[in-house]
Amino acid sequence: MIPVRPLLFLGSALFAIGVFGVLTRRNAIAILLSIELILNAASLNFVVLGQASGHPQGQAFALFVIALAACEAAVGLAIVLGLYRTANTVLADQVNLLRG
Amino acid sequence: MQPPIVLAQAGLWFLSALVIAGAILVVTLGNLFRAALSLGVVLVGVAGLFLLVGAEFLAFVQILIYVGAILTLVVFAIMLTARVHRPAGSTAAASQWPAAVASLALFALLACVIAAIPVPTPTAVGGAPVSLQELGRELITTLVLPFEVISVVFVASMVGAIAVAASPRQRRAQAPPSSSA
Residues B4 and B75 in one domain: yes
Is the residue at B165 inside a domain?
A: yes
Residues B13 and B65 in one domain: yes
Tell me, what's the ipTM?
A: 0.90
The answer to whether residues A87 and A24 touch, using CB atoms and an 8 Å cutoff, is: no
Nearest CA in chain B to A64: B150
Instruction: Per residue of chain B (181 residues), give pLDDT as tens.
Output: 555 778 888 889 999 999 999 999 999 988 888 999 999 999 999 999 999 888 889 999 999 999 999 999 999 888 888 665 555 454 555 678 888 999 999 999 999 999 898 877 765 555 567 788 888 888 899 999 999 999 999 999 999 999 988 876 665 666 555 544 4
Answer whether A6 touches B (CB < 8 Å).
yes
Q: Which residues of B touch A10 (CB under 8 A)?
A: 16, 19-20, 49
Mutation site for B-interface testing, chosen from A5, A8, A20 by largest number of B Cβ within 10 Å: A20
Q: What is the largest CA-CA distance in chain A?
A: 56
CB count within 10 Å of CB B124 equals 11
Of B87, B120, B154, the residue at which a domain comes to its end is B87
User: Taking Cα atoms as reference points, which of B132, B119, B143 lies closest to residue B54?
Assistant: B132
Rounded CA-CA distance B32/B14 in Å is 25
Q: How far is B117 from chain A (nearest CA, A)?
A: 10
Cα dihedral angle (A32, A38, A42, A47), rounded to 10 degrees? 80
- Specify the 3-state DSSP secondary structure of A55: coil
Return the CATH number at B44. 1.20.120.1200
Q: Name the A residues in 9-68 with CB < 8 Å from any B CB.
A: 9-10, 12-21, 23-27, 29-30, 32-34, 36-37, 40, 43-44, 47-60, 62-64, 66-68
A24-75 pLDDT, tens per residue?
A: 988 888 899 999 999 999 999 999 998 888 888 889 999 999 999 999 999 9
Q: Which residues of B touch A6 (CB under 8 A)?
A: 12, 16
Is the residue at A29 inside a domain?
A: yes
Helices (H), B29-167: 32-52, 56-61, 71-81, 96-116, 122-125, 132-140, 144-165
Q: Which residues of B touch A19 (CB under 8 A)?
A: 102-103, 106
Q: Looking at the partner chain, which of A9, A20, A53 has a beta carbon nearest the beta carbon of B100?
A: A20
The answer to whether residues A17 and B23 touch, using CB atoms and an 8 Å cutoff, is: yes
- Whole domain around residue B157: which residue ranges? 130-170
Is the residue at A88 inside a domain?
A: yes
